[in-house]
Structure 1
Amino acid sequence: MTVKSSISLTDSQAAFARGLVENGRAASLSAVVQQGLELLREKRNAEAAETEALRAVLEARARGPFVGEEDFRRHTDQMLTEASRKYALGD
């Protein structure tokens, strides 16, 4: 289904859109607006997916075991020591 709408563009937006049509990058001004809206929809969907993924990670982390400062430092030091040995760092 197609819906006809009247929109207002700034002079620079109109010039840019016309340039896209004139250079064959878009079939019409309507196509330019449609592509712009699709890009905006994709961006919003990607942001929503990223937010949901972050929320899931944070919730999973909140349900996980608590690691005290000493255990955290010991584990971090161990990882750094192993990485240094593996990559022959600090020799």
Structure 2
Amino acid sequence: MSVKASVSISKSQDAYARTLVEEGRYASLSAVVQRGLELVRAETEARDLETAALRALLEERAKGPFVPLEESRDETKAMLARKRSELGL
């Protein structure tokens, strides 16, 4: 179901959208705007999922033991060395 809405875009956005339609990439200006909104939705949903995953990771890490920065760096270096060795690098 379509809903009619009035939107304002800049002259350069209008020119670009019309070029896309003229080139046959989109059937209409509405199709260009709809695609743009879908891209914004996908980007927003992906960012929200990444943020939620990061929050969950931080919450999980906050529950664990405190590891001093230098010790953490040493552990990371050791892990990278193991991985490189396992991969023959």
**Same fold? TM cut 0.5:** yes
1:43 aligns with 2:43: yes
For structure 1, list consecutive stretches of 5 or more residues without a partner in the other structure: none
Q: Do structure 1's residue 63 and structure 2's residue 63 form an aligned pair?
A: yes
Range with bigger deviation, 59-68 or 19-28: 59-68
For the aligned residue pairs, the C-alpha RMSD in angstroms reads 3.0
How far residue 79 of structure 1 moved from its aligned partner, in angstroms, is: 1.2
Which residue in 1 is equivalent to 2:15?
15
Counterpart code for 2:36: G
Runs of at least 4 residues of structure 1 off by over 3 A? 73-78
TM-score normalised by length of structure 2 = 0.79
Distance change (3 Å), C-alpha of 1:22 and 1:67: same
> In structure 1, what is the Cα distance between the partners aligned to 2:17 and 2:73?
59
| C-alpha deviation, 1:64, in angstroms | 1.0
- Residue 67 of structure 1 and its aligned partner are, at CA, apart by 2.5
Give the TM-score taking structure 1 as reference length: 0.77
The aligned length equals 87
Q: Higher Cα Rg: structure 1 or 2?
A: 1
2:81 aligns to what? Answer: 83
Identity %, equivalent residues: 55
Structure 2 unmatched ranges of 5 or more: none
Going from structure 1 to structure 2, the CA distance change for 1:31 and 1:75 (only over 3 Å counts) comes to same
